[in-house]
Amino acid sequence: MSDINRAAQASPALPQEVDMNRSSSRWIIGVLAIVLVVALAYGLRYERPKPQVNASQNRPSIAAAPAPQSSTPPVSSTHPVSSTHPVSSTPAAPQSSAPLRADAAVSSNPHDLTSGAAAQAPAVPNFVDLVQAVKPAVVSVRVKSDITPQITAGDGGANPFEGTPFEPFFRRFGSPGKGEQEQDPLRHQYVQAQGSGFFINAEGHIVTNNHVVANAVQLQVVMDDGKVLDAKVIGTDPKTDLALLKVEGQSAFPFVTLADDLPKIGEWVIAMGNPFGLGGTVTAGIVSAQGRDIGSGSYNDFLQIDAAVNRGNSGGPTFNMSGRVIGVNTAIYSPSGGSVGIAFDIPATTVKPVVAQLKERGYVERGWIGVQVQPVTKEIADSLGMKEAEGALVSGTQPDSPAVKGGLKTGDVITTLNGTKVKDARDLARQVAGMAPNTTLQIAFLRDGKQETAQVTIAQLQNQPTHKRDTPPPQTGRNAPASHLGIAVAPAARVMGIGEQGVAIIRVDPNGKAAEAGLRPGDVILQMGGNDVSNPDDIVRAFDAAAAQKKQHVLALVRRNDREMFVALPTG
């Protein structure tokens, strides 16, 4: 038994081993087949990319977006930044390393702007070289102002509280030159403020804002290297909010140059200055808009930029990528008091002529023709039968003015000056102000629908204070019933303090059409439809005449206080 077992163990089981080898081979072949199928499927699904061959270099080409050019290099410490040291090199700008997307190709449709704009999108420029070049010309301005309150005690210095329990308090705190004030004079109170500025020539002239240096008793300028110099005011121009300062202390100062043209919307700019006393601060952005009217006067057309501008930046420069000053930082729009990306600059094209006059004579000489003007709205254009709402409507003339001598009248619409189109009332004011006194001006205007011309001699604008007349309280009595405008009127001669001419507005319905047009109680209607009015019936006839001509508005000349203006009143 044992021999049989040993024999059985010693003899090989050949059939079983052959079956196992065949099974393993099948598994290997199956795995290889699966791998081959997967590889084949992957190759069919994804097409191998074909390289773009450059005809000159025989290698793949990557189309990079063009970067904006800049012509301002670093400036040597021994040379000022100016037009006498022109800039020729271009600061390096990072290039995009990503190829253009397939959908950025130029469309065959000439009206499709999207693809063309995407193909020309620039990379963010490198501002380092530009900043290093112009930074030495930017300064901080320290201002010491006298804010001592002006206290008056009335006519002759009398105490208005005499004989009352408040008399001792007023004698102590309110009446200079009497009581305890006689032994303890009112002390002056001073405040320190800061702003910004920049050199415009090697002689040390600095441009800043007028509101920075207003009421200053002491001025100091802090240069980029920390050097502090005393400054004096050469001249100011409140109408454009510009001021020119002068410093001494070295033979030549680094300076920058004002741009000759307006920047384009979307152009890269950098703003520099002294926000919150942090001198030498640089921020970057673009030009957001042109021609902004922020209600600061008739002579400014502000640039809007989105570079961060804060308190203390006033008077500082904004540069383009060529290192030229395109504007002076002046104001910001901010609900919180800090930057929200809306800042306003006085354009360099405005700064140049103003600064030239401030340097020459210390003040700005402006042309004047003696007219009050207002914009031509769509309603006013309709009432005058004009196709387009453009030009400047003469709402009043001053006696013996060049306009009166030249034949201009109230109600004329000035359309051109010396052949140059007048866009609106602000444009007229800027064009006239920029003309030298004693020069001849050819004016084209519309009168009663006909084109006419007048020739006037420009006079010099005088800074004359305007005095406002208090609006008299409305008088009640026998008034005309409220019309479809929602007003009650009476002849001006019957209302005390109004005058003899026109029709006085006694009451205005706050929900009526007259209120929407801007009329107020106390206003006096002098003309309707170009004709004088003296009673309510004249107003009715003016509306009937306008309706017969199928006009939707009738033009009314209205006097408010000492100012006259036109108002378009709806006929229906």
Is 494 buried (19+), middle (13-18) or exposed (0-12) by CB count in 10 A? middle
Q: List Cβ neighbours of 351 (8 Å cut-off, separation of 6 or more).
A: 207, 240, 242, 258, 325, 327, 328
Residue appearing with tokens 């619409």: 413
Q: Which two tokens stand for residue 164?
A: 């009352």
Q: Which helix (H) or strand (E) holds 40?
A: helix 14-45
CA 142, CA 220: separation in Å to the nearest integer?
A: 5
Strand, helix or coil for residue 457:
strand
129, 241, 306, 427: the catalytic one is: 241
140, 145, 314, 383: the catalytic one is: 314
Q: Which two tokens stand for residue 489?
A: 């009127």
Would strands 503-508 and 281-292 be described as parallel, antiparallel, or unpaired?
Answer: unpaired
Is 241 labeled as catalytic in the residue annotation?
Answer: yes
Is 224 labeled as catalytic in the residue annotation?
Answer: no
CA 37, CA 47: separation in Å to the nearest integer?
A: 17
175, 211, 237, 538: the catalytic one is: 211
CA 193, CA 212: separation in Å to the nearest integer?
A: 8
CA 348, CA 263: separation in Å to the nearest integer?
A: 10
**Other C-beta atoms lying within 10 Å of the C-beta of residue 287:** 23
Exposure class string for 501-536: b at 16+ Cβ within 10 A, else e: bbbbbbbbeeebbbeebebeebbbbbbbbbeebbbb
**Other C-beta atoms lying within 10 Å of the C-beta of residue 490:** 22
| Catalytic residue set | 211, 241, 314
